[in-house]
Amino acid sequence: MNYVWIVLIVVIVGFYVYRMVPAKGVKSISPAQVQGLLSSDRASVQFVDVREPNEYKSGHVNGFKNIPLSQLSKRMTELSNDKPVVVMCRSGSRSMQAAKMLGKNGFKDIRNASGGIMAYNAQNAK
In the chain, where the domains are located: 23-124
Q: How confident is the model at residue 4 (pLDDT cuts 50, 70, 90)?
A: confident
Contact, 20 vs 94, CB < 8 A? no
The pLDDT, as a whole number, for residue 124 is 78
- With H, G, I as helix, E, B as strand and everything else as coil, classify residue 6: helix
Instruction: Provide the residue type at 51 as one letter.
Output: R
**For the domain bounded by 23-124, which CATH number is listed?**
3.40.250.10
Closest CA to 80 of 54, 50, 44, 55: 44
pLDDT at 20 over 60: no
Specify whether 89 is catalytic: yes
Phi first, then psi: what are they for 67, rounded to 5°?
Answer: -130, 95
Q: Which of 26, 37, 50, 89 is catalytic?
A: 89
pLDDT at 27 over 70: yes
- With H, G, I as helix, E, B as strand and everything else as coil, classify residue 47: strand
The pLDDT, as a whole number, for residue 52 is 97
